[in-house]
Amino acid sequence: MEYRLALVERPRYLHATVTGANVPENAMRFLRESYQACVASGRNALLLEMNLSGPSLDTSSIFRIVGERTTDALKLRKIAYVERSHEKDEGKVHFAETVAVNRGVNVKLFRDMAEAERWLSEP
């Protein structure tokens, strides 16, 4: 399973970019490692940039992954999510956002990186 994580510390947030195969294990690993790096860097906001290749995960996998990562996500002030793959089912991307928001996570989906960065930089 191909997987690569790149982390860049910004003044108000951590920018985490993942590339590789779009499988549940990589999605879970990306969310876990990004959160851990965010905390280790002293940031309370996270920009998740997804570049995973392959078809969208099924809704049950999305629901399970978001559910398992909610406890940590609730500890962050903001999470911006940018889906870079054009292969993804837009409805499923919004489903992931909705599942997290319904659990109290302050997460927002963006198509434009500049908008996500502006939102994260706001108090």
Return the closest-CA partner of residue 100 out of 123, 70, 79, 60. 70
Percent of the chain surpassing pLDDT 90: 84
Determine the pLDDT at residue 32.
98
Percent of the chain topping pLDDT 70: 98
Residue 89's pLDDT band, with cuts at 50, 70 and 90, is: confident
- What DSSP assignment string belongs to 89-100? -HHHHHHHHHHH
Report the SS3 class of residue 19.
Answer: strand
pLDDT tens track for 30-88: 999 999 999 999 999 999 999 999 888 999 999 999 999 999 999 999 999 998 876 66
pLDDT of 111 reads 87
Angle between helical axes of 24-40 and 59-73 (0-180°, round to 10) = 10
- Residue 34: enclosing H or E segment and its boundaries? helix 24-40
- The overall average pLDDT reported for the chain is 94
- pTM for the structure as a whole: 0.94
The pLDDT of 11-24, averaged and rounded, is 96
